């Protein structure tokens, strides 16, 4: 796996793309034409947002968390043919438990 070290309150996410099923049970594989992913697994987190007092705000997500996020907020990057998403912590909606 590629080592990525995000800065500040950035989070690196490996998107989770799920196949969809029709009512008849036919699996529709994920394709390029489909909507952007809204779920992913956190693979790296930054040290936290730098506050005015010089302290860092603690991050609310950690490596391994499965999260949902705002659909059009992440920046997409590709490293060694693998797709990753870079997102601000504030654009993460929640952690899937």
Domain with 95, as residue range(s), is: 36-97
3-class state of residue 91 by DSSP: helix
pLDDT of residue 50: 93
Residue 53 located in a structural domain: yes
Residues 6+ apart with CB under 8 A from 54: none
- The answer on pLDDT for 7 being more than 90 is yes
- The answer on pLDDT for 34 being more than 50 is yes
pLDDT of residue 79: 86
Per-residue model confidence as pLDDT tens digits over 42-87: 999 999 999 999 999 999 999 999 999 988 888 999 888 889 999 9
Residue 6 located in a structural domain: no
Residues 6+ apart with CB under 8 A from 39: 15, 16, 18, 66, 67, 68, 69, 96
pLDDT of residue 41: 95
Q: Name the domain count of the chain.
A: 1
pLDDT of residue 31: 53
């Amino acid at each position: 796996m590629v080592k990525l070290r995000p800065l500040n309150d950035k989070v690196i996410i490996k998107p989770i793309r799920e196949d969809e099923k029709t009512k008849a049970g036919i699996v529709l594989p994920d394709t390029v034409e489909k909507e952007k992913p809204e779920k992913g697994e956190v693979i790296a987190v930054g040290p936290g947002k730098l506050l005015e007092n010089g302290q860092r705000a603690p991050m609310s997500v950690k490596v391994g968390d499965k999260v949902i996020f705002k659909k059009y907020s992440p920046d997409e990057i590709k490293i060694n043919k693998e797709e990753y998403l870079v997102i601000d912590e504030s654009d993460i909606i929640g952690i899937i438990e």
